[in-house]
């Protein structure tokens, strides 16, 4: 399955495939999603098979309009209205109590549902033509790096999807921020581009950050987002030493860095990522994939600063590295 160019015909066809219970890979602003009709349990089951994902891991339902949350959520608290108004379409997923009709296979058997209006013209076009909710996890095999290009989906899931819509590179590049609005205190389950401070500024209440150890969202499994090549986080000032130590042992080492002063490392396969957080996020997964494909012995990843704006990157890197 090669990626399909986006036009009126391919969108129409993708919507028909979804209505027929087939799988369609769709671009979003965060990462590519592996989509199925969220109201069709048999279609949704195919997602789990294609990804090799455990069936108790819930999916995000993508919607065209914020007003559609009424169809999926039993109660829509004021906090959800506020966040939708501020951040949708955008990289924010809200966990809300589900309507009784929502298929348990979508929610991993939980009584809550994850909802998001993505900020990508292709995704929104398809969602509008399709009309319903599209359940879509990231379009990668379970535990692997999320795809940020249509080609990534084709490489990894090409034989199991019925259509891959080519929307070009994902502009955000990291999975959405997930906020749980079902408890008395709003809680971030997965950090993303939309930060805790931004959420607190809108909600005017403190927002908790779920400890990384409790596994409720599969993005929180330690093995998640991992390349095949062993990867290690490394502070900039010890990276050179680490690199030499490994090279002396005969290792072929890849380096993923952003500090300009590391640009002079020689004898390595390296990817120089932007220093600016948003540009770094957009480039990270592609770079990791490229290094992974070189079948090196190890990858050294420069440790980003412990600042709020880097929280999502730190979260993903700590899961991708050992």
Check residue 182 for interaction with Mg ion (CB under 5 A): no
Q: Which is nearer to Mg ion, 26 or 66 (CB)?
A: 26
What is the C-alpha separation between 275 and 107, in angstroms, rounded?
Answer: 37
Residue 275 contacts residue 258 (beta carbons within 8 Å)? yes
| Crossing angle of helices 121-130 and 8-19, rounded to 10° | 50
- If DSSP codes are grouped into helix, strand and coil, which group holds residue 229? coil
What is the C-alpha separation between 217 and 204, in angstroms, rounded?
Answer: 25
Q: Which is nearer to ligand TXA, 96 or 255 (CB)?
A: 96
Check residue 175 for interaction with ligand TXA (CB under 6 A): yes
- Figure out which of the listed residues 33, 89, 227, 304 binds ligand TXA, where binding follows CB under 6 A: 33
Contacts with ligand TXA by CB under 6 A: the residue count is 30
- Figure out which of the listed residues 148, 176, 270, 286 binds ligand TXA, where binding follows CB under 6 A: 176
What are 188's strand-pairing partners?
179, 209
Q: Which one of ligand TXA, Mg ion, none interacts with residue 303, CB within 5 to 8 A by kind?
A: none
Establish how many alpha carbons lie within 13 A of residue 214's alpha carbon, considering only the half-sphere containing its beta carbon. 8
Q: Which of 216, 229, 213 is nearest to 322 (CA)?
A: 229
* Binders of ligand TXA in range 198-227 (CB under 6 A): 216-219
Check residue 90 for interaction with ligand TXA (CB under 6 A): no
What is the C-alpha separation between 48 and 164, in angstroms, rounded?
Answer: 17
What is the C-alpha separation between 311 and 196, in angstroms, rounded?
Answer: 10
Record the tokens describing residue 51, joined without a space.
């990804």
Q: How far is the CB of 53 from ligand TXA (least distance, A)?
A: 8
Check residue 283 for interaction with ligand TXA (CB under 6 A): no
Record the tokens describing residue 187, joined without a space.
């809680």
Q: How far is the CB of 90 from ligand TXA (least distance, A)?
A: 10
* Binders of Mg ion in range 124-153 (CB under 5 A): 138
What are 170's strand-pairing partners?
none
What is the C-alpha separation between 317 and 256, in angstroms, rounded?
Answer: 11
Check residue 133 for interaction with ligand TXA (CB under 6 A): no
Q: How far is the CB of 53 from Mg ion (least distance, A)?
A: 8
What is the C-alpha separation between 1 and 165, in angstroms, rounded?
Answer: 11
Check residue 120 for interaction with ligand TXA (CB under 6 A): no
Check residue 28 for interaction with Mg ion (CB under 5 A): no
Check residue 50 for interaction with ligand TXA (CB under 6 A): no
Which contiguous run of DSSP H or E holds residue 63?
A: none
Q: Which is nearer to ligand TXA, 175 or 243 (CB)?
A: 175
Q: Which part of the chain contacts ligand TXA (CB under 6 A), choosing from 1-9, 55-63, 276-284, 295-303?
A: 55-63
Q: Which is nearer to ligand TXA, 142 or 232 (CB)?
A: 142
Check residue 156 for interaction with ligand TXA (CB under 6 A): no
Check residue 117 for interaction with ligand TXA (CB under 6 A): no
Q: Which is nearer to ligand TXA, 95 or 255 (CB)?
A: 95
Q: How far is the CB of 31 from ligand TXA (least distance, A)?
A: 5
Record the tokens describing residue 110, joined without a space.
């939980």
Q: What is the DSSP letter of 122?
A: H
In 10 A of CB 160, how many CB atoms? 18
- Contact residues toward ligand TXA (CB under 6 A) are 28, 30-31, 33, 57-60, 91, 93, 95, 107, 110, 112-114, 116, 118, 136-138, 175-176, 178, 189-190, 216-219
């Amino acid at each position: 399955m090669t990626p399909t160019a986006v036009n009126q015909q391919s969108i129409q066809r993708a919507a028909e495939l979804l209505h027929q219970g087939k799988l369609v890979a769709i671009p979003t602003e965060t990462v590519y999603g592996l989509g199925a009709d969220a109201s069709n349990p048999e279609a949704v089951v195919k997602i789990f098979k294609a990804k090799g994902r455990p069936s108790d891991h819930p999916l995000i339902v993508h919607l065209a309009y914020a007003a559609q949350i009424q169809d999926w959520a039993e109660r829509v608290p004021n906090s959800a209205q506020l966040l939708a108004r501020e951040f949708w379409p955008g990289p924010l997923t809200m966990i809300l109590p589900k309507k009784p009709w929502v298929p348990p296979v979508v929610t991993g058997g939980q009584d809550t549902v994850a909802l998001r209006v993505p900020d990508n013209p292709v995704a929104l076009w398809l969602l509008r033509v399709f009309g319903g909710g599209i359940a879509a996890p990231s379009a990668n095999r379970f535990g692997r790096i999320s795809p940020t290009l249509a080609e990534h989906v084709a490489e990894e899931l090409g034989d199991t999807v019925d259509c891959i819509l080519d929307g070009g590179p994902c502009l955000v590049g990291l999975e959405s921020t997930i906020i749980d609005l079902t408890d008395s205190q709003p809680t971030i389950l997965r950090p993303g581009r939309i930060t805790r401070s931004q959420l607190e500024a809108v909600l005017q209440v403190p927002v908790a950050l779920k400890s990384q150890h409790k596994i409720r969202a599969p993005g929180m499994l330690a093995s998640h987002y991992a390349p095949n090549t062993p990867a290690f986080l490394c502070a900039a000032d010890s990276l050179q030493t680490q690199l030499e130590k490994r090279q002396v042992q005969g290792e072929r080492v890849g380096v993923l860095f952003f500090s300009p002063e590391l640009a002079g490392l020689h004898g390595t396969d390296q990817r120089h990522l932007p220093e600016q957080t948003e540009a770094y996020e957009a480039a990270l997964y592609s770079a990791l994939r490229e290094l992974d494909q070189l079948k090196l012995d190890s990858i050294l990843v420069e440790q980003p600063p412990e600042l709020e704006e880097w929280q999502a990157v730190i979260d993903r890197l700590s899961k991708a590295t050992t």
